[in-house]
Amino acid sequence: MNKSFCYIIILSILTFLNAYSQSNNSKTELIPSPYDKSLAEIGRVVYIGNKSFTDEELNKINNLRASDRNVFHRIFQYYLNEIKQNRATPPPLIDAFKMSINTMVNELRFYEPIRVKDEIDKIKNFYEQKGFHNASVSYTIEPDKKKGINIIKVLIEENERWTVSNINYIGLDTLPDDIKDRINKLKLIKVNDFFDEVILTQEIVLIQRFLLDNGYFYTKFDIPLVTIDTLKKQDSITISFHPGNRQRFGEIYLVDKKNGQQAVGYNMKIAQLEIKKGNWYSLSKINRSLSNLLLLGTFDFVSIDTSTAIFPKTDTTIPFKVELQYRKQQEYGIGIFSNRTVIDNYLNGGIEASYIHRNIFGSAQVLNPYARFVIQNMSEALYDRSKALFEFQLGINFAQPLLWIIDVSRIGLTVQPLYSVRTVYNQLRINTFSLPIKFPVSQPKFTYIHNFSIDFNFERELPLNFSEAKKKMLESARTTEDSVRVEEISNIYGNLDEFVNSKNPIFTSTSFGISLISDTRNNPFSPSNGHFAIYSFELPFSAFTGTNSILGNNKFLRFQLANYWFWGLNNNLVLALKQREGFIYWWNKAESFIPFEKQFFAGGANSVRGWPSRRLRYSKRELNLTGSAYDYAVNFVGNSILIEGSLEFRYRFSSTGSGVIAEQIANLGITGFLDWGNAFNWLLLDDNTKDYIDKYNWWEFGTGLALALGLGLRYETPVGPFRIDFAWPLYDPNGKGNEKLIFNRRQGLSAFTFHVGLGHSF
């Protein structure tokens, strides 16, 4: 024993001396770092012999990295090298460059034998965990004189991968048969599968979580025992579980820490709890109960824990205490506000005066009266003031968080009466009173549809000065044909104006709709993974009753769907894909109308970015309009069909340094994108047919799609990136002859569209 111990001591000393010698030799043989000549940088890491796993997979389990200077770091280093060669350079300037580079020094990776050996051991352990028990991993480091970098070569000899000969679970035999059957369905590894410690761990965690959700409060497990057979190259696995006695929820009592606030009603709090006395203990139900209580918005902190202070536990029951810490319920404010539309992602903003009470009637109801001056679609308004839509709003938001619980669905209520005055165009103003009533329904996270709402909307829309606005457009008409076109484009609001004047209706528009939402994004503002989808349709009540003074004369059926996908290709690069369609079926066109906010437009910062906002549509008919009539037709008469898509690569600069410069660099990003899409069926009617002025063949919905290519700059903020986009119309289906393609146009690359916005385009 003593002799073996001496051998171990001698071997350790020799290993240390070898590493020390290698370190000393590297400083003389390896290429020195421009940052510090006494250090050697790692310029590249190469894996050799890895057949079963890619370089990317191996990179995820170790920190063996090469230096990675961002573009600003390289620029600063280049100029520092240049100015140091000039003796006339003032020392403070050199110090300033050095200080800036020092803030980014964490982007450099220096060769340290002991640390590299630790990373090599991680790779060896990874192969061991994956069943390659005889794998060997080593490394060499060599200078590349031509490229001026040091290269670490990781040498891997995988050898044979071992399989599983037997999996034995101990301690689960005493469980009820139904529990054992469900546990068997959770098992991931089978006999003769390759040994994989990661999958084995996943299997154990799944079983443990299942037991915690089915009454086994005291369950625990031992570290798996793996027995190896070196001859057959097989592993035998033994896993011991200790489930303990099955437990039910005992007494559940609530403790309010009100902090001077009004208490939420007992029944409302109990309704948020998915844990019930007498039910089997479930960790998932506790977590969902915590989430439900926090979503009420009246609590700063919520905890659910075992407690025997009031009720004792028994052999089969455990009492729980729910502790609720209240937040401030009433707030007043005057300031700047912003919000976004769900599908279009338009940013609206302005000035708001508001009051909010988060527990107005004692059951976590929210009451929020407000007055706002709003600029609709601010990103386009900043780009072109002539497109700015101004609106004054006076409204009340009321929300009842929970009305009913049906199975796993939780149904609430929101009512948002609103009076607004907005300028649509020139002298034409619209006064609107709307009463949207929504029943939002929240679903568990394991369902595809996470939220949906059943919507009822009642609206009274009154156009003011319509005749004066129309008169001004007619005055700008230069020909008789222009005058006819003015009559066509004023049709929608003309129908509304005539209906209001003749019927004096209670509502001009009433409808029923449903919206379905699925959202798995890891970040609502700058997602790097996940999927977002929304599907909605709207049907007017007047479709069943005909035009009348109560239900209005809106005669359209509206569908819209959008899907956004996000894939993180690496830590800095995200691939994003958008697909969006909309369709309006409009009948009784000569007498009914479609509200402006329900129409579809293409082009703009959140659409096909090669065109200005609302300026893209596929039309086979030339209007030949000028002046105010043309502006009105293009900007305020939409379309009934929309097809859009976008492919976007989003790269965010990395900086592992500290300091102001490094922090700002880490917030910067660039984007390259390809947009496609168009709007079809311009809502202009032919005087003779009383139908759309354009008719399409089915293939034109493909050949009529416009293409735009662009680049963008991003700067991250807490509510999403501030962005600047430059986009070129690559293919214009409305172009004449061979001018449809950008390469055949006279302007070429000089004709681009510039957009400013807050938040990604999708």
Cβ atoms < 10 Å from Cβ of 737: 6
Report if residue 84 sits inside a domain: no
Nearest CA-CA partner of 701 in 617, 741, 647, 643: 643
Instruction: Mention every residue, 6+ apart, whose C-beta is less than 8 A from residue 93.
Output: 83
Measured CA to CA, the distance from residue 320 to residue 252 in angstroms comes to 5
Mean pLDDT of 43-67: 93
Residue identified by tokens 């609103």 is: 418
Q: Residue type at 38?
A: S
Residue 16 clears pLDDT 50, i.e. is over it? no
Under DSSP, the state recorded for 263 is P
Q: Is 408 helix (H, G, I), strand (E, B) or coil?
A: coil
Residue 239 clears pLDDT 70, i.e. is over it? yes
Average pLDDT, the chain: 86
Q: Which of 267, 295, 326 is the last residue of a domain?
A: 326
- Better-scored residue on pLDDT, 632 or 276: 276
Q: Within this chain, do residues 640 and 604 fall inside the same structural domain, yes or no?
A: yes
C-alpha distance from residue 605 to each of 113, 526, 674, 723 (Å): 52, 17, 13, 10
Instruction: Mention every residue, 6+ apart, whose C-beta is less than 8 A from residue 53.
Output: 130
What pLDDT does 45 receive?
Answer: 95
Report if residue 188 sits inside a domain: yes
Q: Which of 265, 300, 326 is the last residue of a domain?
A: 326
- Provide the strand spans (E) within 530-638: 530-540, 556-568, 573-586
Residue 12 clears pLDDT 70, i.e. is over it? no
What pLDDT does 25 receive?
Answer: 41
Q: Within this chain, do residues 532 and 580 fall inside the same structural domain, yes or no?
A: yes
Of 233-237, 338-342, 452-456, 654-658, least confident by mean pLDDT is: 654-658
What pLDDT does 740 receive?
Answer: 85
Query: Which structure tokens are listed for 703?
Result: 């050949």
Q: Within this chain, do residues 148 and 184 fall inside the same structural domain, yes or no?
A: no
Residue 560 clears pLDDT 80, i.e. is over it? yes
Residue 482 clears pLDDT 70, i.e. is over it? no
Confidence of residue 15 (pLDDT cuts 50, 70, 90): very low
Mean pLDDT of 264-283: 95
Residue 151 clears pLDDT 50, i.e. is over it? yes
C-alpha distance from residue 229 to each of 136, 232, 372 (Å): 19, 6, 75
What pLDDT does 627 receive?
Answer: 63
What pLDDT does 21 receive?
Answer: 43
Report if residue 502 sits inside a domain: yes
Measured CA to CA, the distance from residue 679 to residue 638 in angstroms comes to 8
Measured CA to CA, the distance from residue 324 to residue 119 in angstroms comes to 46
Q: What are the φ and ψ backbone dihedral angles of 532, each rounded to 5 degrees?
A: -130, 135
Write the DSSP string, 1-38.
-HHHHHHHHHHHHHHHHHHHHHHHHHHHHSPBPSS-TT
Q: Within this chain, do residues 195 and 314 fall inside the same structural domain, yes or no?
A: no
User: Cα 762 from chain centroid?
Assistant: 8
Report if residue 101 sits inside a domain: no
What pLDDT does 621 receive?
Answer: 73
Q: Within this chain, do residues 197 and 218 fall inside the same structural domain, yes or no?
A: yes
Residue 6 clears pLDDT 50, i.e. is over it? no
Query: Which structure tokens are listed for 453?
Result: 């709402």
Q: What is the CA radius of gyration of the chain?
A: 34
**Structural domain containing residue 20:** 2-67+108-157
**Exposed, middle or buried by CB within 10 Å (0-12, 13-18, 19+), for 369?**
middle
Distance in Å from the first CA to the final CA of the chain: 69
Report if residue 91 sits inside a domain: no
Query: 726: domain CATH number?
Result: 2.40.160.50
Residue 521 clears pLDDT 90, i.e. is over it? yes
Report if residue 73 sits inside a domain: no
Residue 608 clears pLDDT 90, i.e. is over it? yes
Residue 597 clears pLDDT 80, i.e. is over it? yes
Q: Residue type at 745?
A: R
Confidence of residue 558 (pLDDT cuts 50, 70, 90): very high
CA angle (448, 579, 617) in 5-degree steps: 145
Q: Residue type at 378?
A: M
Q: Within this chain, do residues 596 and 725 fall inside the same structural domain, yes or no?
A: yes
Report if residue 275 sits inside a domain: yes
Report if residue 524 sits inside a domain: yes
* Run of H or E including 455: strand 451-464
Q: Residue type at 645?
A: G
- Which value, to the nearest 10 degrees, does the dihedral of the CA atoms of residues 679, 681, 683, 684 take? 120
CB of 25 closer than 8 Å to CB of 40: no
Q: Within this chain, do residues 519 and 444 fall inside the same structural domain, yes or no?
A: yes
Nearest CA-CA partner of 614 in 383, 459, 431: 383
Q: Within this chain, do residues 261 and 189 fall inside the same structural domain, yes or no?
A: no
Q: Within this chain, do residues 426 and 301 fall inside the same structural domain, yes or no?
A: no
Q: Within this chain, do residues 312 and 406 fall inside the same structural domain, yes or no?
A: no
Q: How many domains does the chain have?
A: 4
Q: Within this chain, do residues 546 and 472 fall inside the same structural domain, yes or no?
A: yes
**Residues 391-448 pLDDT 10s:** 899 999 999 999 999 888 899 999 999 999 987 665 678 899 999 999 999 988 777 8
**Residues 182-217 pLDDT 10s:** 999 999 999 999 999 999 999 999 999 999 999 999
**Residues 707-761 pLDDT 10s:** 999 999 999 888 788 899 999 999 999 888 778 888 877 777 778 888 888 889 8
Q: Within this chain, do residues 613 and 553 fall inside the same structural domain, yes or no?
A: yes
**Residues 369-378 pLDDT 10s:** 999 998 877 7
Instruction: Mention every residue, 6+ apart, whose C-beta is less than 8 A from residue 547.
Output: 499, 553, 555, 588, 591, 592
Measured CA to CA, the distance from residue 448 to residue 535 in angstroms comes to 12
From its phi and psi, is residue 603 left (phi > 0), alpha (psi between -120 and 50) or beta? left
Mean pLDDT of 481-506: 77
Query: 186: domain CATH number?
Result: 3.10.20.310
Q: Which of 98, 122, 157 is the last residue of a domain?
A: 157
Measured CA to CA, the distance from residue 540 to residue 523 in angstroms comes to 35
**Residues 277-303 pLDDT 10s:** 999 999 999 999 999 999 999 999 999
